[in-house]
Structure 1
């Protein structure tokens, strides 16, 4: 995997989300709602709900909002039925893009995603056309410049982490998806606090576009992330240091 660039991709996405916090809370609420509706409202018995709550908390979503989403899910007999969909395609300059959605209207979502790609010089592809370029990984980030680097790395590796990087005062810890909760729990016992806690998609290789393609790609990402149904946008564009 491309070390520095893969974190830059994630970092850029996090920064963009911070600028749209209200919309991000709504997306988290939808993810929590779906997890609770499908697996029950107890996070101790529902790993998908537990992961969705942890992810929301790292974006500082208020506990009241989280609880409302859970209660709405477990209290509704019918309720809204959301479908999980992933679209794949290529952005400008051949950049691989995956778009994950939770939607109650597949036709609307398909039209919106296709419009965003077309408007910004990209095109949708068939399922599987870019998925092989990404790996599903657990991601934990600790931001604390005062921590001892060797100690954090030792704790993470002993807990079962696959890889640990350091970047500008942050420790970026990668795990296999099945080891994610164990690694997180062990590190919490050492009182580490996470600024990111999620299972995500990491590009195995990155593409460095020209200036025009990069500008159009950023517009594509922003346009996709602005759609209510879109939960995540993953890509393999390389960002300069």
Structure 2
């Protein structure tokens, strides 16, 4: 499993995500609203909306919030124009960073993302400067204790490509367009899915020490605090001892 994923798992175990739940709800609501506006409010006819709703459910977002976001998208006027924008840059130690945004104002978002990089000692790059280092895949994380082989058997016919496990956490990968059927196959097979999403996976990773991980974690935090930022990916890794030292035992 990628070090970045392992780092996120440790954050999750320590409850760091709870402190960011309100921010997550706001971003997920925006994603649902935009999906409903662009593809219609009927999930049966809008795969993007299905994935946005599922992401909200995975973090226990209340159904009322989800319904309001869908209704807002269905009734949105043409002046509310959001678009997906991808920013690329470098953090400390040459770590490549990809920032996925959903914005109604490119100039505002670019300025905020650039500031987050600069305050962390990094730099915002040009289009294509680091994108070639990443591949977009579908990633499904199962609840701890799931069996790798059984999970792959349950999901293979639905389009799963591979399975990996680290510290009891099983990750199934697939093409992004197969996320919905693969997740459905796993759930029908009795597995509990904790999250399913399209992610940018790095081809090669830079191993960081305590100082390097502390610095890149601050950059990721600065970026994730921005309202327009939906997701941050980076090509770093760190061993368990370093991760535990940075985040405590």
2:3 to 5, 12, 16: 5
Q: How do 1:92-241 residues align onto structure 2 when only pairs under 5 Å count?
A: 92-145=92-145, 147-241=146-240
How far is 1:154 from its partner?
Answer: 1.9
Given that residues 88 and 127 in structure 2 are in contact (C-alpha distance below 8 angstroms), is that contact kept between their aligned partners in structure 1? yes
**Shift in alpha-carbon separation, 1:39–1:158, aligned structure 2, 3 A:** closer
How far is 1:109 from its partner?
Answer: 1.0
Given that residues 54 and 198 in structure 1 are in contact (C-alpha distance below 8 angstroms), is that contact kept between their aligned partners in structure 2? no
Given that residues 137 and 176 in structure 1 are in contact (C-alpha distance below 8 angstroms), is that contact kept between their aligned partners in structure 2? yes
Q: Alpha-carbon deviations, 1:154-201, whole Å to 9, x = none?
A: 223343211111223322101112322221222222232210111111
CA RMSD of aligned residues (A): 1.9
Q: Alpha-carbon deviations, 1:15-68, whole Å to 9, x = none?
A: 654430000000000000110000000111001101111111111111110100
Question: Counterparts of 1:149 and 1:127 in 2: how far apart (Å)?
Answer: 37
Q: Which runs of 5+ in 1 are unaligned?
A: none
Given that residues 142 and 194 in structure 2 are in contact (C-alpha distance below 8 angstroms), is that contact kept between their aligned partners in structure 1? yes
How far is 1:148 from its partner?
Answer: 4.3
**Shift in alpha-carbon separation, 1:4–1:117, aligned structure 2, 3 A:** closer
* 2:52 matched residue in structure 1: 52
Given that residues 33 and 70 in structure 2 are in contact (C-alpha distance below 8 angstroms), is that contact kept between their aligned partners in structure 1? yes
How far is 1:107 from its partner?
Answer: 1.4
Given that residues 148 and 164 in structure 2 are in contact (C-alpha distance below 8 angstroms), is that contact kept between their aligned partners in structure 1? no
- 4+ residue stretches of structure 1 with deviation over 4 A? 12-16
Q: Which runs of 5+ in 2 are unaligned?
A: 241-249
Given that residues 163 and 173 in structure 1 are in contact (C-alpha distance below 8 angstroms), is that contact kept between their aligned partners in structure 2? yes
Q: How do 1:77-88 residues align onto structure 2 when only pairs under 5 Å count?
A: 77-78=77-78, 80-88=80-88
* 1:73 matched residue in structure 2: 73
Q: Which moved more, 1:187-196 or 1:129-138?
A: 187-196
Given that residues 90 and 96 in structure 2 are in contact (C-alpha distance below 8 angstroms), is that contact kept between their aligned partners in structure 1? yes
Question: Counterparts of 1:13 and 1:131 in 2: how far apart (Å)?
Answer: 26
Question: Counterparts of 1:127 and 1:139 in 2: how far apart (Å)?
Answer: 25
Question: Counterparts of 1:140 and 1:100 in 2: how far apart (Å)?
Answer: 19
Given that residues 136 and 177 in structure 1 are in contact (C-alpha distance below 8 angstroms), is that contact kept between their aligned partners in structure 2? yes
* 2:243 matched residue in structure 1: none
Given that residues 2 and 237 in structure 2 are in contact (C-alpha distance below 8 angstroms), is that contact kept between their aligned partners in structure 1? no
Matched residue count: 238
